[in-house]
Amino acid sequence: MFFHHPDAEANLQRMAANALRGASMEPTDRRWWPRIKAVLKFIGWESMLAMILCLLAGLRDPRLGTAMWRDFMLAGAVLLTTRLSGHRFYWQLQSSPTVNVLWHLPVPGRDICRWGRGMFLRDTLVLLPRMMVAAWAWQGFPAPADAWLQIVGMGVLLWIVMTACVMHDSATQGMGNVVVKAWSLALLVWVVLALYAWWFEKNHHYGQALPGWITALCAPASWLLPAKWAVHAAHDSTALMLTLACIVSGGFMWWRFPDKAAIAYDRLFPDRHFETPGNEADDFSGEDATEEIEQNTSTGVLVAIQHARENESTLIHEGWIEKLALLLLRGRDRETVAILTGTHAGWTRRWWQAVMVCVLLLLTAYVLVNFGSRWIKLETLEAWIIILPLAAVAGLAFPVSNAIPVATCGRPLGNHAMPFFAGLPVSVSDLLRVSRRITIARMAACLVLVLPVVAAQCFILGHERGITVLFGIALALALLWIMIRPMFIYYRLQQMSSPARRFRFGHLAAYLIILPLGLGVMTAGVACVASVALSPAWVLVGACCAQGIYAVFLRRVKTRRVDWISRG
């Protein structure tokens, strides 16, 4: 036996030294496929985002995009990237597995924040190409060989401004200050205008210019977006001053961040360093404990347990949609759903919120259309009258989430939910059956709201003939949504499980089957929207494809190719 191994010792020392410089101590994964996959994923994702950038900026057809509009759209896209990077930064410092370990070690808070800042910088470097694309689009797609210096320079400047903005945002640990709130507001306006532009492009010829009020709104709003300052810094002194102020103050915050943030984190998470799950229970003593012991001992135990179960079962009865869902469920499923939906589903409460918002919006629309024609043109209102109430319904009453979060590993439960589902006697088929019936109840409630809203919209806009067509589309989409439920069960479960065997061909074959089936579902969805009446054939096609996707997954489960604990 070797008691001393100089090579191994030297190797460990080298790894430790590298780790202190930020390198991983894990052995390098030398397999070629994960690397190629990562590169392909990066290229694919960035290409798609670049296309969206160009599309939003109206640069696909130069007649559509004015310079003002282009400034606003591209600067908004850069700000959106900035905010997402900021969220990644918070996550790195608050919830990443590494930081959870670091906060429990005797490491100074400022060192952890410095580490988080370094990781953020490293992760943000990959955004440089996206900034270059934005810079290229900004300059109107000149030949790269002729203008590469300007493109690279502007891209790097955008990246620096973006990093400075994240530091501004981070200075208050995401709690927001006036500047950050202004950016959030600008971002909101940007999203709404981008949606409007998309709708406008779909409904008008490409050659038609955007309405004047959009450019009028973009002009002041675009000055809230730091990327605009950076782009115009070369020829506008105001923009130059703003850019310099942003970079200098961001740089100062970057320098001060480890000290400031460490104090802020201590304030936010006072027990973080030595947090243990048992503290609360260990503190349970004194009169409260005596009283509770007296209540729960002897025959009180059964009463307490039965009361807990009854109490939990009744929580699901909180509204008419919940009751309707329970009506569709029988026997064991009724109890299972009370467990799997969590204690407060909130479907009815959200439905009523949607009703109130829709009534308010439609009343406003009616007043504006009938009495406000002096101040505003009807054609500019039309989009809002259609989009806003339907968006409220989609956000509040559409059965898209919050159905069975415990079973299908809703985000807050994270990795805990899947072993739970795996450990309990609840099958994949149980999940599908419960989920489908809940969706039927919630979709029925949604239609009860959508159909009158659509009718009211047609009435206000004077398109009474369109009501039948829109009803047909709404019914087709509702049916399709219910029928494609198996696909979502597949999506949720495969997301948190992992392939049990490294049998790549089997895995690949499953995806090769799933891909065309997924396309089939999408085609059915598009066809349902495009059809002028209810189209049962397309609903059936969608249902078959979704069932096919689920069947592939179920077969993999039954042939023991799925682990219910994801191993990353």
Partner 1 sequence: MHIEFNDLSKRFGDTTALDQASLNVPPGSIVAVIGENGAGKSTLLALLAGVLAADGGLIRFDGLPFSRENLEQRRRLLFTPDVPLMFMERSVASNIATLAFLHDAKVEDHEAELTRMLDETGIAALLKRSAGSLSRGQLWKAFLACACVIRPELWLVDEPFASGMDVIGMGVFRRLARKLADAGGIIVYTTQMVDLAADFSDHVCVLRNGRVVLWETSAKVREMIAAAPEGQENVLRGLR
- Helix, strand and coil content of the chain, in percent to the nearest 5, comes to 75, 0, 25
**87 vs 330, which CB is nearer to partner 1?**
330
Judge whether 460 and 385 are in contact, CB under 8 Å.
yes
Among 270, 425, 465, 505, binds partner 1 (CB under 8 A): 425
Looking at this protein, which amino acid is placed at residue 321? I
DSSP 225-252: -HHHHHHTTTT-HHHHHHHHHHHHHHHH
Cβ-based nearer residue to partner 1, 181 or 558? 558
Binder among 107, 292, 468, 508 for partner 1 (CB under 8 A) = 292
Assess 318 for contact with partner 1 (CB under 8 A).
Answer: no
If binding is defined by CB under 8 A, does position 557 make contact with partner 1? yes
Q: Which is nearer to partner 1, 307 or 377 (CB)?
A: 307
343 lies in the binding site for partner 1 (CB under 8 A)? yes
Say how far apart CA 565 and CA 499 lie, in whole Å. 10
- 335 in contact with partner 1 (CB under 8 A): yes
Binding residues for partner 1, total number by CB under 8 A:
55
Output 270 or 278, the one with its CB closest to partner 1.
278
Question: Any contact of residue 275 with partner 1 (CB under 8 A)?
Answer: no
Q: Do 305 and 314 touch, CB atoms closer than 8 A?
A: no
Contact region with partner 1 (CB under 8 A), list: 4-12, 13-21, 66-74, 291-299: 291-299
Residue 562 is given by DSSP the state: E
* Amino acid letter, 267: R
Single out the segment in contact with partner 1 by CB under 8 A; choices: 37-45, 278-286, 362-370, 479-487: 278-286
Confirm if 173 and 261 have CB atoms less than 8 A apart: yes
Is 563 one of the binding residues for partner 1 (CB under 8 A)? yes
Angle among Cα 261, 263, 265 to the nearest 5 degrees reads 65
| CA distances, 245 to each of 79, 229, 254, 279, 390 (Å) | 17, 10, 14, 47, 42
Least Å from the CB of residue 555 to partner 1: 11
Give residue 173's region: left, alpha or beta (phi > 0; psi -120 to 50): left
Per-residue binding string, partner 1, 471-510, x by CB under 8 A, is -----------------------------xxx--------
Select from 97, 106, 302, 331 the one that contacts partner 1 (CB under 8 A).
Answer: 302
373 vs 415, beta carbon nearer partner 1? 415
Two tokens at 472? 């047909």
Footprint of partner 1 on residues 403-422 (CB under 8 A)? 406, 416, 419-420, 422
Residue 307 interacts with partner 1 (CB under 8 A): yes or no: yes
* Residue 423 is a binding residue for partner 1 (CB under 8 A): yes
Contact between 167 and 93 under an 8 Å Cβ cutoff? The reply is no
CA quadruple 17, 20, 21, 27: dihedral sign: positive
Angle ∠(361,365,366) on CA atoms, nearest 5: 120
- Classified as helix, coil or strand, 499 is strand
Nearer to partner 1, 262 or 500 (CB): 500
Cβ distance 525 to 480 under 8 Å?
A: yes
Question: Which residues of this chain interact with partner 1, rule CB under 8 A?
Answer: 276-278, 280-282, 284, 289, 292-293, 296-302, 304-309, 311-312, 335-336, 339, 342-343, 406, 416, 419-420, 422-430, 500-502, 557-558, 560-565, 567
